[in-house]
Amino acid sequence: MIRVQLKDGSMKEIEEGKLIIELAKELSPSLAKKCCVAKLDEVLVDLKTPILKDSKLEFVLLEDKEAFEVLNHSCAHLLAQAMKRLYPETCFGVGPAIEEGFYYDFAVSSPVALEDLPKIEAEMKKIVKENISVQHYILSKQDAKEKFKADKFKCELIDAVDDDKVGIYEQGDYADVCRGPHVISTGMLKNFKLLNVSGAYWRGDSKNEMLTRIYGTCFATSEQLEQHLHNLEERKKRDHRKLGKELGLFMISEYGPGLPFWLPKGYQLRRTLEDFWLDLHKRRGYLSINTPIMLNRELWETSGHWDHYKEDMFTIEVEDGTYAIKPMNCPGAILVYKNDLHSYKELPLRYSELGNVHRYEASGALNGLFRVRGFTQDDAHILLREDQVGEEVGRILSLYDYVYSIFGLDYSIELSTRPEDNYIGAIEVWDEAEAALKKACLATGHEFKINPGDGAFYGPKLDFKLRDSMNRIWQCGTVQLDMQLPGRFNCTYIAEDGSKKTPVMIHRACFGSLERFIGIITENYAGAFPTWLAPVQVKLIPVSEKHKVYCQRLNEIFEEHQIRFENDFRDEKLGYKIREAQTQKIPYTLVIGDKEIETAAVTYRPYGKQEQITLSIDEFVNKIEEHNKNKN
């Protein structure tokens, strides 16, 4: 007999080799039905896995967060099985789970389009009803290649496996090379939906064959699936590219793919965001700087960017050598630091910069403001002593808490650690930096999870994952602890004992990229920006020609109080102009008629509401100023 410790701490004696699903049924038949997979000694495994030694066991239920990836990976196999039945000559690429679902890549003899998805879904539903048992077994690479000899993609994947054996998952007439884990049978995959079809190069290389990629999603319950599909429809309405055009925020020209043009209203939105950022950093002790957009190759070689980043850099040849348009602001900040001698008493020195950077992105990856070639990083580079790291990271986390709360964005933190390769510096220095970030998070009450191997090439980092109103996750803020670059540039400060010491540096960005952040909040607010941020805060609509003079008087008052406004003096019907102001999502629409002139007042209609409220001019001005002050 062997002993199994369950999640609640209780112990269970079982026969060696008992399957996890058998134990679940013994404990509770209803538990067995709710299980998706299990954690055996902290490793996710199939329910048909035998328990061979004393172990810790935790059942992962269908509604648990960790089950979502398993459901979707299993549903990718379900899709592949349906494709094998409908298109027998299909060759199969890869079918991973992704953040909100799954995809599978296929080489098919005839094109597959959106209108084919219902037919494929119908076949998938048949397989679900068949409730086919999912089996897992191991083959040698040689036997696996023999099994999949008709599929060149699977044979290539088998060749790429480091081990001499590969895992196989099989369900009825379909088998795949896979590490798993998977659900116990196809009957558990009832709540799925195929979403889209696109092209994708095999293994992401444009030199390879173009495959058909089918996207889908799968949930534990029909209610969760319906909610997700509703969210997807809502996202289409909120698409920042669509809203950007409708609201006159930005454009992208064929003469500069990935290089946004800010239109008047979008530029006003951007400037308001920049002014907020600059004022906040001034009050938090940062010194604003601006560094050149293009610098000599030697600088980038010293920093390490040339070796680690040159494929993503734009370069130009000039008379004194190769120059690179900066993909990062950090080397420029280091040169600013080196411009003067520094004492330990000055540290931390906090340099903030809204720096314009450029990175080469493949044209197929460009996406509105989310993925561009030219963008503005809201950077800060802090030079400090090692003993100041904990307190300074705490200050940064406090700043981030404040900023994200302004925009109603919750976040989680990931600690990204040293990459397996492509890094600079000694491992012990990395270990020290990672420990410092962990300690700083814990000391300030911030939880985090580890993201192994995803650190920057010069140091570990805290990545901030923001959650918007549509329940999407965005990577925005970062705090990177760098114990490498200051030394590479011979940065020093005079220590208390008179010796020269090398500072450490924190790289940090809160928005990440102004362009991307504006895209995120445009969708988060569905274009209806809060009053303090709205490009136009007030729209004035006179009832008739004779009311224009009063509107012009209000213009002067609003200008004096820095209230952003527009007049609508067009010869159109009043109802049409009011509806259009609502379409433009302007926070306050003022309709000016005889009553307003007689009482020296304004009557406003808030965006999205039918009510009309009359206030004195002073009261209305105070109302807008309160919005601006309180950032709402």
Residue positions annotated with a catalytic role: 330, 359, 377, 379, 381, 461, 507
Structure tokens at 119: 């037919």
Report which of 515, 273, 511 is spatially closest to residue 373, judged by C-alpha positions. Answer: 515
Give the number of other Cβ atoms within 10 Å of residue 104's Cβ.
23
Two structure tokens written together for 319: 């008379």
User: Helix, strand or coil for residue 407?
Assistant: coil
Q: Is 375 helix (H, G, I), strand (E, B) or coil?
A: strand
Please check whether residue 232 is in contact with residue 225, taking contact to mean a CB–CB distance below 8 angstroms: no
* Closest by Cα among 277, 279, 273, 315 to 298: 315
Q: Element (H or E) spanning 98, and its range?
A: strand 97-98
Would you tell me how many other CB atoms lie within 10 Å of the CB of residue 66? 13
Closest CA to 381 of 271, 491, 455: 491
Q: Are strands 504-509 and 374-384 parallel, antiparallel or unpaired?
A: antiparallel
Could you tell me which of 347, 350, 391 has the C-alpha nearest to residue 495?
347
- Entry field: residues in the chain: 632
Give the separation between CA 527 and CA 269, rounded to whole angstroms: 11
Give, for 238, the enclosing helix (H) or strand (E): helix 222-238
Q: State the Cα–Cα distance between residues 382 and 402, nearest whole angstrom.
A: 19
Taking CB atoms within 8 Å and a gap of at least 24, the contacts of 568-576 are 568/539, 568/540, 568/541, 569/542, 574/541, 574/543
Most distant CA pair in the chain: distance in Å? Answer: 95
Cα–Cα distance for residue pair 228/223, rounded to 1 Å: 9
Quote the CA–CA distance of 609 and 528 in Å, as a whole number.
13
- Are 446 and 467 a contacting pair, CB within 8 Å? no
DSSP state of 347: P
Cα–Cα distance for residue pair 47/31, rounded to 1 Å: 12
Quick one: three-class SS letters along 454-513?
CCECCECEEEEEEECCCCCEEEEEEEEEECCHHHHCCCCEECCCCCEECCEEEEEECCCC
| Three-state SS annotation for 109-150 | CCCCCHHHHHHHHHHHHHHHHHCCECEEEEEEHHHHHHHCCC
DSSP-assigned letters across all residues of 26-55: HH-HHHHHHEEEEEETTEEE-TTPBP-SSE
Would you state the structure tokens that stand for residue 189, as one six-digit string?
Answer: 């995959």
